[in-house]
Amino acid sequence: MSALSKAAALSAVTKPRLTAKAAAKTTGTVPAWTAKAMRRLGGENVVDVLTRQHRQIKRAFVKAALPGPRRRRDFDRLMRLLAVHEAAEEAHVHPVARRALHNGRLLAARRRGEEKEAKKLLVELWRTGPDGKGYLRRLNEVRRMVTRHAAREEREEFAQLRKALTVPRLRMLGAEVKLTQAYAPTRPHRWANNEAANKLTAPFLGPVDRTLDAIRHARAS
């Protein structure tokens, strides 16, 4: 076979593959292993995941304010919901928004600034605890800040992400959020407030926090 014939045969074999790869990029499809992981994690749109968690957090604030023997448990659950939610947003969602949205840098900077301020209050609330002096005042202060922050995320960031990203990418991002939350820290850490800090420290802080939680719960029971 001549060199020209060999080149033509090679082109016939590789061209469909290259075309398929290009089509995959333009249509937003994902590799098979990623799709399989997404199915195992629910394949849920990241905006739906985070919006649902916002509603859970709002209800958790109400329960954590109620008096009675369940207040400690409800307080711990609130802290856990807030910690894992913010860790995933800072590690994955805001960085994607910064790159994908036309005003992403500004939006991501605003959300990180709000989260940084909220974490300062969360640390103070954590130290106060559900039985400490001024608990309800601090709890309401955090609730107001977190509620405003969540509303801005949904209105300014989530709505644009839903339009800017393909459905497979939104689902893959939802899987990344769920996976991160499975091992993220369960209490606020003031200095873990950006993408790098969360990705680097979560694998270490998460297990430590969860071990301390288990010890505390065992002592309380």
Q: Is the pLDDT of residue 94 over 50?
A: yes
Residue among 187, 175, 197 at smallest CA distance from 33: 175
Q: Of residues 35 and 179, which shows the higher confidence score?
A: 179
**Count of C-beta atoms within a 10 Å radius of residue 29:** 16
- Joined together, the tokens standing for residue 176 give 């990344």
Output 39 or 81, whichever has higher pLDDT. 81
Question: How far is Cα 145 from Cα 150, in angstroms, rounded to an integer?
Answer: 9
Find all residues with CB under 8 Å of 176, minimum gap 6, and list them.
46, 88, 92
The values of phi and psi at residue 185, to 5°, are -60, 150
Q: Can you tell me the distance from the alpha carbon of 17 to that of 102, in angstroms, rounded to the nearest whole number?
A: 32
For residue 207, the model assigns a pLDDT of 74
Name the band, by pLDDT with cuts 50, 70 and 90, for residue 19: very low
pTM summary value? 0.75
User: Which residue has better confidence, 106 or 215?
Assistant: 106
Mean predicted confidence (pLDDT) in 78-87: 94
Q: What is the pLDDT of residues 121-161, one digit of tens each?
A: 999 999 999 999 999 999 999 999 999 999 999 999 999 99
Rounded to a whole number of angstroms, the distance between the first and last alpha carbons of the chain is 80
For 163-203, write each residue's pLDDT tens digit.
999 999 999 999 999 998 988 888 877 666 666 666 666 67
43 band by pLDDT with thresholds 50, 70 and 90: confident
Supply the Cα-derived Rg of the chain in whole angstroms: 22
Complete domains list, the chain, with CATH:
43-220 (1.20.120)
Q: Is the pLDDT of residue 74 over 80?
A: yes
Burial class (CB in 10 A: 0-12, 13-18, 19+), 150: buried
